[in-house]
Amino acid sequence: MAARLLLRSAFRAATTCRAAPVPALTRGVTTGGIPTDEEQATGLEKVILKATKEGKDPYSMLKPKEYAGTKADPHLVPSVTNKRIVGCVCEEDNTAVIWFWLHEGEAQRCPSCGSHYKLVPHELPH
Amino acid sequence: MAHQAHAYHMVDPSPWPLTGAISALLMTSGLATWFVYKTTTLLFLGTTLLLLTMFQWWRLIIRESTFQGHHTTPVQKGLRYGMVLFITSEVFFFIGFFWAFYHSSLAPAIELGGLWPPTGITPLDPFEVPLLNTAVPLASGVTVTWAHHSIMEGARKPALQSLTLTVLLGLYFTALQAMEYYEAPFTLADGVYGCTFFVATGFHGLHVIIGTTFSMVCLLPHTHYHFTSNHHFGFDAAAWYWHFVAVVWLFLYISIYWWGS
């Protein structure tokens, strides 16, 4: 009710004077005056919003996928260059992490437990 | 956009944390020199620097978030954690003052007459202005929730009205408390009663002023369409802070004004 009263007086004010009409009320008017993220997000926020809608995760915000680690189903490790450090926790709750460089090309195996890891190229939006 | 492979915000260097720290130093030492030497130079300088810092720093945050899009979901999550932790620290700050109050009032010392309120103190009637001062924060809690829902539903006009109402109620509370302070029959110097009363309610009043300022600073971006129906963390933070301030008042009212009278 209060909104209607204010709207009425605002309408009167808007229609009386006005050399230049107020353009403000036309923006985001689809939802009642407040824009949505779709309409207004910019920069990195917008890039991520678009990518998430397409089902992509260029900035690695989601948990990595689970793989068996076998020769047929190696862990796929995304990388923006041609190598990446891998830390293998061979068994759950192990405190000694096995670190090694994973290079592009054939899958490598963890020197301790033998799980297979393969580097895959990762696209970054620029 | 990013030459980074993550969704976080690595901020650029800026002078405002330094100016903020300097203003804190100037204000605290200025307060002390004002008490002792009656000069207000340092305090005035510190306050000016504080206002400058607030204006510049918050403008910078608005630029980074609304205009440059740095506040992605993980960044927002971090900001939420930050605000929650800050409010929690403030809760503990007030717990200290409530502790002091209950320590002195549950077992009143013989020097006070062995009773609470101490002999000679006429406490404020809790059912007069303090009761109005309880209705005001409760009402402003309603208006700020109304504003939040309006923003989420994309309704601009109701959001504007309810946020303005919230600010007005906050200012009304401050005005009423100021009048109460002026008219009170006891002062800060009136023993432990005066001390606990004015320190606890005084810090609360300061927080009301901070909360009102925060809400006013939210009004400005809102009128310029900065908030979206999904992403309006500045407003969320202001609303949380405001609810915290209202809840502290409720505890204050029940403990100091009502039980303590």
Residues forming beta bridges with residue A78, ordered by sequence position = A120
Q: What is the 3-state secondary structure (H, E, C) of B135-164?
A: HHHHHHHHHHHHHHHHHHCCEHHHHHHHHH
In a shared domain, residues B112 and B239: yes
In a shared domain, residues B82 and B57: no
Last residue of a domain, one of B23, B44, B70: B70
* Residue to test with chain B: of A5, A30, A45, most B Cβ within 10 A: A45
pLDDT at B117 over 80: yes
User: Is residue B242 within 8 Å of B87, Cβ to Cβ?
Assistant: no
Q: What value does the mean pLDDT take over residues B47-71?
A: 94
pLDDT at B161 over 50: yes
In a shared domain, residues B85 and B65: no
Q: What is the DSSP letter of A16?
A: H
In a shared domain, residues B58 and B84: no
- Domain of B40 in residue numbering reads as 1-70
- Read off the pLDDT of residues A22-77 as tens digits, 9 standing for 90 and up: 444 444 455 578 888 888 899 999 999 999 999 888 888 888 889 999 999 999 99
Residue A1's pLDDT band (boundaries 50, 70, 90)? low
- Candidates A32, A28, A45, A8; CA nearest to B149 is A32
Instruction: State the smallest CA–CA distance between residue A75 and chain B in angstroms.
Output: 20
In a shared domain, residues B18 and B132: no
B23: CATH = 1.10.287.70
* Region at B225 (left for phi over 0; alpha for psi -120 to 50; beta for the rest): left
Q: Where are the beta strands (DSSP E) in A7-115?
A: 75-79, 83-88, 98-103, 108-109
What confidence score (pLDDT) does residue A33 get?
83
Chain A residue with minimal CA distance to B232? Answer: A37
Last residue of a domain, one of B70, B95, B113: B70
In a shared domain, residues B52 and B139: no
In a shared domain, residues B173 and B144: yes
Nearest to A44 among B1, B159, B229 (CB): B1
Interatomic CA distance for residues A85 and B181, integer angstroms? 64
In a shared domain, residues B104 and B139: yes
What DSSP line would sit under chain B, residue for residue?
Answer: --SSSSS---PPP-SHHHHHHHHHHHHHHHHHHHHHH---HHHHHHHHHHHHHHHHHHHHHHIIIIIT----HHHHHHHHHHHHHHHHHHHHHHHHHHHHHHHHHHS--GGGTSSSSPTT--PPPTTSHHHHHHHHHHHHHHHHHHHHHHHHTTBHHHHHHHHHHHHHHHHHHHHHHHHHHHH-SS-TTSHHHHHHHHHHHHHHHHHHHHHHHHHHHHHHHHHTT---SS--HHHHHHHHHHHHHHHHHHHHIIIIIIIT-
- Candidates A29, A51, A32; CA nearest to A41 is A51
User: Is residue B138 within 8 Å of B245, Cβ to Cβ?
Assistant: no
Q: Looking at beta carbons, which residues of chain B come within 8 Å of A7? A: 157
H/E element, A55 = none
In a shared domain, residues B146 and B228: yes
pTM: 0.84
Instruction: State the smallest CA–CA distance between residue B155 and chain A in angstroms.
Output: 5
Look up the ipTM and state it: 0.79
What confidence score (pLDDT) does residue A125 get?
75
In a shared domain, residues B64 and B140: no
Last residue of a domain, one of B40, B70, B100: B70
Interatomic CA distance for residues B36 and B42, integer angstroms? 13
Please judge whether B72 and A40 are an interchain contact, meaning their C-beta atoms are less than 8 angstroms apart: no
What confidence score (pLDDT) does residue A69 get?
92
Residues forming beta bridges with residue A77, ordered by sequence position = A119
In a shared domain, residues B101 and B155: yes
Q: Looking at beta carbons, which residues of chain B come within 8 Å of A31? A: 153-154, 229
In a shared domain, residues B44 and B128: no
User: Is residue B207 within 8 Å of B93, Cβ to Cβ?
Assistant: no
How many domains would you assign to chain B? 2
B140: CATH = 1.20.120.80
Q: Looking at beta carbons, which residues of chain B come within 8 Å of A6? A: 157, 161
Instruction: State the smallest CA–CA distance between residue A40 and chain B in angstroms.
Output: 7
Which range of A55-59, B22-26, B128-132, B184-188 scores highest in mean pLDDT? It is B22-26
Chain B residue with minimal CA distance to A42? Answer: B69
What confidence score (pLDDT) does residue A18 get?
43
Q: Which residues of A touch B (CB under 8 A)?
A: 2-3, 6-7, 10, 24, 27-28, 31-37, 39-48, 59-61, 80, 122, 124-126
